[in-house]
């Protein structure tokens, strides 16, 4: 008797323990899959590493409580806290509300997981009930952005008129084993079910996503809650787990859940999706003058200005350019002038390009306005692009060695003329000699906008093409009147063609100086490919005055190789004389023919010198005489 009594007591105790642990386990399974950041999901790595089956002997990874129902889970603090309080009850029903809560500014992380301020009160029902208020602050805040998306019911329904102790007589170990097995199955299915319900997706997203969500999942454990309204319940679905009979009742597990949670979560979430900011500070859209080296042509313009655009980016041509090229007398153009003249600066990325055309040293300022507006793809592209930081377009003007004319003419829009003029220019090249005020090229200094001068992309392009065509066909016609310009244009037309042939000249503003002088064009072409004297072009660029040019020529002659190899020296001489001749050509219209003549003479000398394999004294004397004549000519012209 005593033994049976003790057995009964033992069985009852065991049953009670089983039921208690069932409560705890079900609470754990639900909470750990609904409380982000404390879920066993985060410890999946450890799960893989340590399998209970392998570690059962060591039991290092399995706590005693994990062995209950043969389901080893990570401990969930919130579940533990709530359960510890629950242990005092006699299998009171446990209601777990999973609440989708809108995050507030003063969100308290503490409220994220259900903390407990135990508030014990008696419900209207006969049972004693505990009420775990997970967050006191949120009590009564149901209406504030909270939505119960799941409600779990875990309860043990006792059989009326029976208590477990009396029923325990029937509870044999077999029954307990069967009960235990069934509860294992129940908890297995619970574990799978919580992961199939819609709320798990939210939980998973909150756990894994790095997005800042505007909502949170708050499981709230309580004993009694307000029933849902009919409307609310209609929106929810219920899933019943098959109750498991015990000796004194049955264990019931069910859930009310919303099937359409994704709508709620998507509405309340504000993920920070990447957005492209097209008009950031410094973007080409906001700063058209700022070019990126990777961009061959900027937006829009190149299509309209094929010629110009092509050469805007060729930095290489500016290698030998002297540091200062007086393209514009305007102080505002100093930077751009420097840019043109300075190869290094020209090679700088477009963003670093100075806003103004280079060469502020030239005296004449009449057409400085042109200098301010070095053509840039954006300029011509946009009808009203006030070049924001400066009027000058960003692309550098390349002035390759020996291609000064081309370089100057490459700048298709107004600035095209500037280098020409400037170069011609020397101080003697006054503004009067400036290019005729053609609409596309005449840009007043105050006139920053291209539009005022009809420098829309199409117009500028058309203008440039017109200019080229003009230069081609009519260059000669205008040589006497607007010779400086037209001659350049004429030469530029050819030079541009050459530039197109030259893969090294993508920049539309590449100024080719080879063809500055139409008369010398053949020779220039011949010598164009000869980079033997890059310094010559540099000297050309540097010449700011006739005197300087002469001085440079004299120096060149002094440094010329001996007559033994008369070819190079003669070439040097002729090439040295060329800029001077070009300058003269620009300066004086009447001297065009003379310049051409001189040029022809020089070229003839070069040709002849090349053919001579060996020099005789007579030849040498004759050559010397010709040199002297040229020198005198140059000196005489310089004095003029």
Q: Considering only residues 4, 6, 44, 270, which one is a binding residue for other proteins as defined by CB under 8 A?
A: 44
CB of 271 to other proteins, least distance (A): 17
Q: How many CA atoms lie within 13 A of 383 on its CB side?
A: 3
What whole-number distance in Å separates Cα of residue 318 and Cα of residue 396? 9
Q: Indicate the pairing of strand 128-133 with strand 117-122.
A: antiparallel
CB of 211 to other proteins, least distance (A): 17
CB of 202 to other proteins, least distance (A): 11
**CB within 8 A of 119, min separation 6: which ones?**
130, 131, 132, 133
Rg value, the chain, Cα? 46
User: Beta strands of 103-235 (E only): which ranges?
Assistant: 117-122, 128-133, 146-158, 215-222
> Per CB under 8 A, which of residues 364..403 are in contact with other proteins?
none
Q: Which stretch binds other proteins (CB under 8 A): 39-47, 113-121, 312-320, 618-626?
A: 39-47
Q: Beta-carbon neighbour count of residue 48 at 10 Å?
A: 8
**CB within 8 A of 125, min separation 6: which ones?**
224
> Which tokens sit at 298?
């900027």
> Per CB under 8 A, which of residues 161..180 are in contact with other proteins?
177-178
Residue 613 binds to other proteins (criterion: CB under 8 A):
no
Q: Considering only residues 195, 250, 365, 631, which one is a binding residue for other proteins as defined by CB under 8 A?
A: 195
Residue 51 binds to other proteins (criterion: CB under 8 A):
yes
Which CB, 252 or 548, lies closer to other proteins? 252
Residue 196 binds to other proteins (criterion: CB under 8 A):
yes
In the numeric block, the tokens 């012209």 are attached to 637
> Which tokens sit at 307?
């010629």
Q: Which residue from 290, 414, 428 is spatially nearest to 352, judged by alpha carbons?
A: 290
CB of 242 to other proteins, least distance (A): 4
Residue 348 binds to other proteins (criterion: CB under 8 A):
no
Residue 209 binds to other proteins (criterion: CB under 8 A):
no
Q: Considering only residues 80, 141, 184, 225, which one is a binding residue for other proteins as defined by CB under 8 A?
A: 184
Q: Considering only residues 3, 53, 616, 636, which one is a binding residue for other proteins as defined by CB under 8 A?
A: 53
Residue 24 binds to other proteins (criterion: CB under 8 A):
no
Q: Which stretch binds other proteins (CB under 8 A): 20-28, 198-206, 395-403, 489-497?
A: 198-206
Interface size with other proteins, residues (CB under 8 A): 37
> Per CB under 8 A, which of residues 232..251 are in contact with other proteins?
241-242, 244
| Helix 417-424 × helix 483-501 angle, to 10° | 120
What whole-number distance in Å separates Cα of residue 109 and Cα of residue 52? 33
Give the residues across from 131 on adjacent strands.
119
Q: Which stretch binds other proteins (CB under 8 A): 67-75, 157-165, 225-233, 366-374?
A: 67-75
Give the residues across from 217 on adjacent strands.
100
Residue 211 binds to other proteins (criterion: CB under 8 A):
no
Mark 469-494 as b/e (b = at least 16 C-beta within 10 Å).
Answer: ebbbeebeebbeebbbbbbbbbbbbb
Residue 22 binds to other proteins (criterion: CB under 8 A):
no
Residue 202 binds to other proteins (criterion: CB under 8 A):
no
Q: Considering only residues 122, 123, 136, 189, which one is a binding residue for other proteins as defined by CB under 8 A?
A: 189
Straight-line distance from the first to the last Cα atom of the chain, in angstroms, rounded to the nearest whole number: 144
Q: Which stretch binds other proteins (CB under 8 A): 181-189, 321-329, 422-430, 518-526?
A: 181-189
Q: Which stretch binds other proteins (CB under 8 A): 70-78, 347-355, 527-535, 606-614?
A: 70-78
> Per CB under 8 A, which of residues 588..607 are in contact with other proteins?
none
Which CB, 243 or 323, lies closer to other proteins? 243
Residue 14 binds to other proteins (criterion: CB under 8 A):
no
Query: For residue 100, what is the enclosing H or E element?
Result: strand 94-102
Q: Considering only residues 10, 14, 16, 67, which one is a binding residue for other proteins as defined by CB under 8 A?
A: 67
Residue 56 binds to other proteins (criterion: CB under 8 A):
yes
CB of 162 to other proteins, least distance (A): 22
In the numeric block, the tokens 């291609």 are attached to 403
What whole-number distance in Å separates Cα of residue 357 and Cα of residue 375? 10
What whole-number distance in Å separates Cα of residue 536 and Cα of residue 68? 95
Q: Considering only residues 19, 38, 73, 404, which one is a binding residue for other proteins as defined by CB under 8 A?
A: 73
Residue 48 binds to other proteins (criterion: CB under 8 A):
yes
Q: Is 388 helix (H, G, I), strand (E, B) or coil?
A: coil
Which CB, 162 or 181, lies closer to other proteins? 181
Residue 47 binds to other proteins (criterion: CB under 8 A):
yes
**CB within 8 A of 88, min separation 6: which ones?**
130
What whole-number distance in Å separates Cα of residue 489 and Cα of residue 512? 11
Residue 259 binds to other proteins (criterion: CB under 8 A):
no
Residue 611 binds to other proteins (criterion: CB under 8 A):
no
In the numeric block, the tokens 């170069």 are attached to 423
Q: Which stretch binds other proteins (CB under 8 A): 4-12, 200-208, 303-311, 426-434?
A: 200-208
DSSP string, 414-459: GGGHHHHHHHHTSTTS-GGGSPP--TTT---TT---SGGGT--HHH
Q: Considering only residues 134, 155, 193, 345, which one is a binding residue for other proteins as defined by CB under 8 A?
A: 193
Residue 185 binds to other proteins (criterion: CB under 8 A):
yes
Sign of CA dihedral 563, 565, 566, 572: negative
**CB within 8 A of 631, min separation 6: which ones?**
none
Give the residues across from 68 on adjacent strands.
none
CB of 84 to other proteins, least distance (A): 23
By CB under 8 A, name the binding residues for other proteins. 41, 44, 47-48, 50-53, 56, 61-62, 66-67, 70-73, 177-178, 181-182, 184-186, 188-189, 191-193, 195-196, 200-201, 204, 241-242, 244
């Amino acid at each position: 008797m005593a033994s049976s009594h003790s057995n009964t007591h033992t069985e009852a105790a065991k049953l009670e323990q089983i039921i208690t642990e069932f409560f705890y386990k079900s609470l754990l399974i639900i909470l750990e899959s609904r409380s982000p950041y404390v879920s066993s999901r985060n410890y999946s790595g450890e799960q893989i590493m340590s399998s209970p089956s392998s570690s059962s002997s060591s039991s290092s990874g399995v706590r005693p409580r994990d062995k209950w129902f043969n389901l080893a889970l990570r401990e969930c603090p919130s579940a533990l806290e709530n359960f510890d309080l629950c242990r005092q009850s006699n299998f009171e029903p446990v209601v777990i509300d999973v609440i989708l809560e809108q995050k507030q500014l003063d969100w308290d992380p503490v409220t994220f997981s259900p903390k407990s301020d135990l508030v014990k009160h008696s419900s209207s029902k006969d049972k004693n009930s505990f009420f775990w208020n997970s967050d006191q602050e949120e009590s009564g805040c149901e209406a504030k952005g909270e939505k119960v998306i799941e409600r779990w019911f875990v309860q043990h329904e006792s059989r009326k008129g029976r208590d477990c102790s009396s029923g325990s007589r029937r509870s044999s170990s077999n029954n307990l084993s069967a009960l235990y097995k069934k509860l294992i199955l129940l908890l297995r299915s619970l574990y799978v079910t919580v992961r199939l319900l819609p709320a798990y997706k939210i939980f998973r997203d909150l756990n894994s996503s790095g997005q800042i969500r505007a909502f949170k999942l708050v499981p709230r454990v309580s004993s009694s809650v307000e029933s849902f309204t009919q409307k609310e319940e209609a929106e929810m679905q219920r899933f019943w787990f098959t109750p498991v009979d015990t000796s004194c009742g049955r264990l019931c597990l069910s859930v009310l859940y919303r099937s359409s949670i994704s709508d709620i979560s998507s509405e309340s979430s504000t993920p920070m999706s990447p957005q492209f900011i097209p008009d950031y500070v410094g973007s080409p859209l906001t700063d058209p003058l700022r070019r990126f080296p990777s961009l061959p042509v900027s937006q829009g313009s190149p299509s309209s200005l094929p010629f110009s655009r092509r050469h805007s980016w060729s930095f290489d041509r500016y290698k030998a350019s002297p540091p200062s090229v007086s393209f514009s007398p305007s102080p505002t153009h100093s930077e751009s002038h420097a840019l043109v003249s300075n190869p290094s600066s020209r090679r700088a990325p477009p963003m670093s390009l100075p806003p103004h055309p280079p060469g502020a040293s030239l005296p004449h300022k009449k057409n400085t306005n042109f200098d301010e507006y070095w053509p840039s793809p954006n300029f011509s592209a946009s009808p009203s692009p006030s070049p924001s930081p400066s009027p000058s377009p960003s692309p550098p003007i390349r002035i390759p060695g020996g291609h000064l004319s081309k370089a100057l003419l490459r700048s298709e829009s107004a600035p095209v003329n500037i280098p020409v003029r400037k170069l011609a220019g020397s101080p003697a090249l006054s503004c009067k000699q400036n290019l005729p005020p053609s609409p596309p090229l005449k840009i007043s200094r105050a006139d920053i906008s291209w539009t005022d001068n009809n420098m829309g992309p199409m117009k500028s392009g058309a203008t440039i093409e017109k200019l080229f065509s003009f230069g081609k066909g009519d260059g000669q016609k205008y040589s006497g009147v607007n010779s400086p310009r037209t001659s350049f244009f004429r030469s530029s037309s050819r030079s541009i063609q050459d530039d197109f042939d030259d893969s090294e000249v993508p920049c539309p503003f590449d100024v080719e100086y080879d063809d500055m002088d139409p008369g010398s064009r053949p020779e220039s072409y011949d010598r164009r490919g000869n980079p033997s004297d890059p310094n010559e072009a540099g000297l050309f660029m540097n010449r700011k005055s006739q005197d300087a040019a002469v001085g440079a020529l004299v120096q060149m002659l002094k440094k010329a190789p001996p007559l033994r190899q008369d070819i190079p020296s003669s070439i040097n001489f002729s090439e040295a004389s060329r800029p001077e001749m070009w300058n003269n050509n620009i300066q004086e219209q009447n001297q065009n023919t003379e310049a051409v003549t001189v040029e022809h003479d020089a070229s003839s000398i070069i040709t002849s010198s090349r053919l001579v394999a060996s020099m005789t004294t007579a030849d040498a004397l004759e050559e010397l005489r010709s040199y002297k004549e040229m020198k005198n000519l140059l000196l005489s012209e310089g004095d003029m």
